[in-house]
Amino acid sequence: MSLTERKLRRIVVKFGGSSLADGAGIMRAAEMVAREAERGTQIAVVVSAMGKTTDQLIETANEACGGKITGRELDDIMAMGERTSARIFSAALKAKGLRSLFIDPSSPEWPIITDKEFNNANPIMPICKSMIREHLQPLLDEGYIVVVPGFIGKTEDDEITTLGRGGSDVTALILAQALSADQVILVTDVEGIMTADPKLVNNTERLESIPIDALVGLADSGTKFLHKKALMYKSPKIDVKVIRNTSGDLRSEGTIIYGALRNSLTVEPHREPSMAVTIVGRAITESPEVVREILQGVRDVGVRLLGVSVNHNSVILYLPMARVKTVLDRLHSIVVENEETIAMAVRRNLAFIRVRGVGLEETPGVISGISEALNSSGINIYGIFTITSSVLVFVDLEDGEKAVELIKKAVEGMKSTP
């Protein structure tokens, strides 16, 4: 049934381990689900293992086996945490008079089918969606609250797998896609996504919403709200809301994550010629006001900064070749006015190429593959650096088209779209 044809609200709710750390926490979580079910909402629940159960299982298994345990064996052991959580959570819902069923990998209806990459398996999306629509959706339509252990998969040969870091979020987002859910709700121990880590910074504030592109930058820096692997499975049509487990209501305010990502690696040439402006000096990084003045100078003349590289004695600015005379005169005036800066040099007519992809920095061989492909064809790289799941490459403008094709071949097949 399509989203436009049905009247009932349908959501996927994922409870993290901190929300299910003990009986009181599970009861509180079940009450949140019960309150929403009373409003007529169809609910699929994804649960993580209780508290630190997974860590304890891994530690115990490794200690018992002297570290000589296979990935296949470890997955089977780790899965027990989520499988137990699902049973307890479903029982808690039934204790409140609700109709609930838990789905287990031992069941032929189990929907998350993966490859055989034990400890970090990848869901086979066409099969997953088909199984979810065939087996889970009818249960929701019949009024059941379906509880699914997150983080777990099963191969087509019925071997247990786990999905790696962020695996429970992956499960929730796959369910949401297949069920055409109205929203995914992540219940955590924080009130939403904050302007900074409150454990490190005072006076942080909750963000009402954040685009997924911006969240990737936070994920690159280690945010734990949504792992990058999970971000790859978010539908552009389904928002994700992060709320606190003590809020008592699944409709409480939190942070809305909207948008979606292109998950395969893409190679995008910049349309305009670029240039690299190198400013050298003495301990420039010890004079942040000088660096700020340089960046402000670029902004003042209305030129967009494509990239910047800073080390102890120099700053390299990568800029489009628009208003060249104006921007160079402005930067030169900053150089001669400051004791910390000595001189500047300009390399014109560069081609700027951007390689994008979620979790790019965790994809082995991307940088070396690009470098080797260009080097083998005698193309010099005048700048290459990574930022927020992108690799920026600058080559001679005359080599631009050839470089794009070489880079496309080098990264082809390194990542695939879920």
Question: CB neighbours (10 Å) of residue 416?
Answer: 10
C-alpha to C-alpha distances, 18 to 24, 91, 190, nearest whole angstrom: 12, 19, 10
Check: CB of residue 181 under 8 Å from CB of residue 203. no
| Sign of the alpha-carbon dihedral angle for 20, 22, 28, 30 | positive
Side chain identity at residue 107, one-letter code: S
Q: What is residue 155's predicted lDDT score, i.e. its pLDDT?
A: 97
The CATH class of 10-258 is: alpha beta
Distance CA 395, CA 409 (A): 17
Q: Which of the four pLDDT bands, split at 50, 70 and 90, describes residue 296?
A: very high
Q: Residue 378: CB partners within 8 Å, gap ≥ 6? A: none
Residues 392, 314, 374, CA angle at the centre, nearest 5°?
30
> Tens digit of pLDDT for each residue in 39-81?
999 999 999 999 999 999 999 999 999 989 999 999 999 999 9
Question: Across the chain, which distance is largest between two alpha carbons, in Å?
Answer: 77
Element (H, E) at 211: strand 209-211
And the tokens for 73?
């064996």
Fold of 266-411: VC0802-like (3.30.2130)
Domain parsing of the chain, residue ranges? 10-258, 266-411
Greater confidence (221 vs 33) lies with: 33
User: What is the rounded distance in angstroms from the CA atom of residue 20 to the CA atom of residue 136?
Assistant: 23
**Tens digits of per-residue pLDDT, 332-379?**
999 999 999 999 999 999 999 988 776 565 566 778 888 999 999 999
Amino acid sitting at position 50: M
Span 115-154, pLDDT tens digits = 999 999 999 999 999 999 999 999 999 999 999 999 999 9
For tokens 């779209």, name the residue: 417
